[in-house]
Structures are given as structure tokens and as C-alpha cells.
Amino acid sequence: MKTDVKLCKQLGCDGVVIGMLHADGTIDKKRNSALVELAYPLGVTFHRAFDRTTDAFKAMEDIIEIGCERILTSGQRPNALDGADLIAQLVKQADERIVIMPGSGVRSENIIELAKKTGAKEFHTSARININGGMSYSNPAMNENLRSVTVDEAEVKKIITNLKAV
């Protein structure tokens, strides 16, 4: 992870995403802090390992303390809409000390509801679709799916349009 952070700095990235927990589901403050320090001046987002913590509010305070600027979360549920109640509570407790960014299942058809329910200002979406690859032949012995994943440009435009309306 340290090598990856150093490479991101060399390449001119704007930020990195990290997240390490102890076996008991608490934030590994020592190792995460070392990565945040190494990443400086890049921004650091704590990823969805957050959704596996034992106490979301304590974890958020620990993540603020180590210097991350954002937490990517689905509200400790499989998708952000299901976790919207917890996300809203986190946004309120964060009180602009850290960005709470809902992610997982965020799409154009639910982003307005998610924004209203949570009060979040930033969102993460893959906005992905599966497309067929260029191969017409598929070796049946390989049991392969020759589909590719790509960003759905129309979905991204819908999300932006919907958020502007909020």
C-alpha cells in the first residue's frame, strides 16, 4: 500500500483511497495514519472497510483524527439506499469535519431520494454497464463471458442533471 501511495504521488494523482481495520472491526489508526502522512498533500478517502466496523460513530471519529477527508460508505448495508438512515446520522455528526460519501447502488433513479434522505453532498457511483466484447467466437471449453464493463455516459449525465435539481 505504501508503494501504491508513493506511485500515486509520482503520477500526480489528486488523492488515494485506503482503509485498514483490526480483526475486531475497529480502525487501525496506526497504519492508516502512516498512509495518510505518506500521502500528504494528496487527499485521502477511507473506503468501504468502514462498513465493516463495529461502531460507525467511533470509527468516523477515528478516521477524522487520522486526517482522512472523506468516508465512502453504504451505511453498513449492502447498498447506500438501504443504509440511508445511518448515513444521515453520520452526516449530521460529521458536522462538515469530514465528507460522508454514499456509495454502492447509487444510480440516477435513486440519487435524489438518497440526497434528500442523507443530506450528503458528494456521491460515488460506478455508473457501469456491461457491453459485449468484440469477439464473435467463444471457446465453449473456457466457460467464459466475453462481456466488458464500461461507464454508462448517459447514466452519468442523468445523475448530474438529477443532482442539479436537488
Residue 155: per-residue pLDDT: 94
Percent helix, strand and coil across the chain, each rounded to 5? Answer: 45, 20, 40
Report the C-alpha gap between 122 and 163 in whole angstroms.
10
Instruction: Outline where DSSP puts E strands in the chain.
Output: 15-18, 43-46, 70-73, 99-102, 128-132, 147-151
Between the CA of residue 52 and those of 10, 73, 102, 115, 146, what are the distances in Å?
31, 10, 15, 23, 33
Q: What is the average pLDDT across 133-152?
A: 75
2-123: CATH number: 3.20.20.380
Residue 55: per-residue pLDDT: 98
Question: What is the residue extent of each domain of the chain?
Answer: 2-123
DSSP letter, residue 33? H
Q: What is the pLDDT of residues 22-71, one digit of tens each?
A: 999 999 999 999 999 999 999 999 999 999 999 999 999 999 999 999 99
Q: CA dist 137 to 74, 130, 160, Å?
A: 39, 18, 38
pTM for the model stands at: 0.88
Q: Which long-range contacts (CB under 8 A, 24 or more apart) does 14-17 make?
A: 14/42, 14/43, 15/39, 15/42, 15/43, 15/44, 15/45, 15/69, 16/42, 16/43, 16/44, 16/45, 17/44, 17/45, 17/46, 17/47, 17/72
Share the mean pLDDT of the chain.
94
SS3 of 18, please?
strand
